[in-house]
C-alpha cells in the first residue's frame, strides 16, 4: 500500500500529512549521505508514519486551531466529528493511537523505533536519546527540524518550541548535541537542508510503498 493510500484510509489531516512528509524528506536527504550501514527503508517508513495518531491531541476549538494549526473555519466541524470518531476507536493518547495504527498496518519494526524514541522523551532524562539507535536519533532529529510552517534550522525550531510549550531554553540543549551526533554520521550539510530541498520530494514519498 502506498503512503498516500494510507493517509487517505486513515483520513489524515492535510497539515499532519505535510508534517510527516517534511520529516521524511529531511530524513531522506540525511540518509543519502549516511556513513554507516543502516536500514534506510525502515527509517523512511518510520518517518512517514510517526505521527499517525496526532489528531487525538489537536485543540480544534476556534482559538486552539489559530494557535497551533490552521484550519479554515468551515472545515472545523468536519474535523471535530472525525476526531470524536478517532477518540472512540483509538483513545486520546497520541502515542498509543499511533502505535495502534502502525500495528494495524503490520509495521512492527517501525513500532519498535517509535517506542524507542518515545522512551527517551518520557524517561525523565532526555539525553537518553543521544544513546539510542541511529534510526531513533534520525527520527528525533528530523522531527525537530520541522515547524508548522516548514523546515527550519535547529535554533529557529527550538525558539518555536519554547514559545509554544514554555519550557526553559536550557531544556533543549540535548537537541543541539543530537544535531552534532547526526552531523558526524552524514556527509550531508545539515545547515543547508530547508523547505526548498524537501518539498520537491513529497510526490515521491507519497508513492512510497510499505
pLDDT at residue 71, as a whole number? 63
Say which range, 40-44, 138-142, 168-172, has the weakest mean pLDDT.
168-172
pLDDT at residue 206, as a whole number? 99
C-alpha–C-alpha distance, residues 11 and 165, integer Å: 27
pLDDT at residue 202, as a whole number? 99
pLDDT at residue 168, as a whole number? 76
- Residue 119 in 3-state DSSP? helix
Mean pLDDT of 8-15: 96
pLDDT at residue 163, as a whole number? 81
Q: Are 27 and 143 in contact (CB under 8 A)?
A: no
* Sequence-ordered list of residues with C-beta below 8 angstroms from that of 155, at least 6 positions apart, any chain: none
C-alpha–C-alpha distance, residues 19 and 150, integer Å: 8
**Closest C-alpha among 112, 123, 113, 98 to residue 174:** 123
C-alpha–C-alpha distance, residues 34 and 188, integer Å: 8
Q: Are 43 and 117 in contact (CB under 8 A)?
A: no
pLDDT at residue 3, as a whole number? 99
**Closest C-alpha among 30, 7, 29 to residue 19:** 7
> Could you report the per-residue pLDDT of 120-167, keeping only the tens digit for each?
888 778 788 999 999 999 999 999 999 989 999 999 998 888 887 777
Cell numbers 531513533 correspond to 136
Mean pLDDT of 24-28: 99
Considering Cα of 4, then 9, then 10, then 11, what sign does the dihedral take? positive
**Closest C-alpha among 183, 92, 103 to residue 145:** 183
> Could you report the per-residue pLDDT of 50-103, keeping only the tens digit for each?
999 999 998 887 666 655 556 665 688 899 999 999 999 999 999 999 999 999
pLDDT at residue 122, as a whole number? 83
Q: Are 187 and 35 in contact (CB under 8 A)?
A: yes
> Could you report the per-residue pLDDT of 180-205, keeping only the tens digit for each?
999 999 999 999 999 999 999 999 99
How many CB atoms are closer than 10 A to CB 139? Answer: 26
How many CB atoms are closer than 10 A to CB 92? Answer: 12
Which domains occur in the chain, in start order? 3-206 (1.10.3210)
- Residue 178 in 3-state DSSP? helix
Amino acid at each position: 500500500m502506498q503512503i498516500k493510500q494510507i493517509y487517505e484510509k486513515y483520513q489524515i489531516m492535510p497539515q499532519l500529512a505535510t508534517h510527516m512528509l517534511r520529516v521524511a524528506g529531511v530524513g531522506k536527504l540525511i540518509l543519502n549521505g549516511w556513513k554507516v550501514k543502516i536500514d534506510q527503508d525502515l527509517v523512511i517508513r518510520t518517518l512517514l508514519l510517526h505521527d499517525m495518531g496526532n489528531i487525538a491531541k489537536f485543540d480544534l476549538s476556534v482559538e486552539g486551531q489559530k494557535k497551533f494549526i490552521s484550519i479554515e473555519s468551515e472545515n472545523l466541524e468536519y474535523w471535530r466529528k472525525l476526531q470524536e470518531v478517532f477518540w472512540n476507536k483509538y483513545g486520546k493518547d497520541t502515542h498509543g493511537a499511533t502505535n495502534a495504527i502502525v500495528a494495524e498496518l503490520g509495521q512492527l519494526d517501525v513500532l519498535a523505533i517509535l517506542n524507542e524514541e518515545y522512551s527517551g522523551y518520557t524517561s525523565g532524562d532526555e539525553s537518553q536519546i543521544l544513546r539510542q539507535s541511529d534510526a531513533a536519533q534520525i527520527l528525533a532529529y528530523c522531527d525537530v527540524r520541522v515547524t508548522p510552517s516548514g523546515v527550519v534550522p535547529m535554533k529557529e525550531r527550538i525558539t518555536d518550541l519554547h514559545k509554544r510549550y514554555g519550557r526553559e531554553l536550557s531544556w533543549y540543549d540535548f537537541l543541539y548535541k543530537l544535531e552534532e551526533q547526526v552531523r558526524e554520521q552524514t556527509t550531508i550539510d545539515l545547515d543547508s537542508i530547508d523547505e526548498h530541498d524537501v518539498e520537491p520530494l513529497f510526490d515521491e514519498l507519497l508513492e512510497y510503498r510499505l
